[in-house]
Amino acid sequence: MFMLLTVKVFVERKTTLYKVLIVTKPEVYLEPKARAQKIMELLEKEHADAEIALHYKNPLELLVATILSAQATDEQINALTPKLFQKYATAEDYANADLSELEQDIRSSGFYRNKAKNLKNTGKMLVEKYNSQVPKTMEELVELSGVARKTANIVLFNAYGVIAGVAVDTHVSRLSQRLGLTENTNQDKIEKDLMNILPKEKWMRLTDLLIFHGRRVCNARKPRCNACVLNKICPSAFTFK
């Protein structure tokens, strides 16, 4: 469905006034809250299988995998974590790890030097402050090296069933802007905007749905608007070349 804008145009033919119909973008008539609800409703039908793609068996493995996933694909991380988790099974293992050796163990994840430092420092803090356990609150998690709100939200929800916010990764950020759910580009501000237009119980479900839709349909360079179930309510539909 498209919105037709009627534009009055004066033409130098006597005094006749002509009306020209110009086809523009899709008809976007829903307010942000209503649009967000409709987006979730449509995406639930389209991506019923949406769920976290990282492989893990316990909170520590999830924390490590999520830290490693920064600037990497889930496939990359899932390929390296089986051996990694065999070698480093506890917080103590990371705390006591030889840094150079740990760097090589996670080299394929990219930015491995910085990530190795974060894992070692996180291991130390878990041992010293949290009895070697992964904490269960946002405030405590973001104190760990390499952990910001996105990682903390993922760990809290998937490891403990705690909903503290919306995990905003590159897919969630991109789609939230395209769908008109936010005008911000900062991840923390995007998260606040999304939290304000959806009920709490749907915050993390939105993350999974937008990630799957971003991977399968609304990719960064060439979104497939023709195949998108949201193209009738998306302000950005059919605007890409």
Active site residues: 150, 169
What does the H/E/C string look like for 175-219? HHHHCCCCCCCCHHHHHHHHHHHCCHHHHHHHHHHHHHHHHHCCC
What's the rounded Cα separation, in Å, for the pair 20 and 53?
Answer: 50
What's the rounded Cα separation, in Å, for the pair 39 and 227?
Answer: 15
| Contact status, residue 147 vs residue 122, Cβ threshold 8 Å | yes
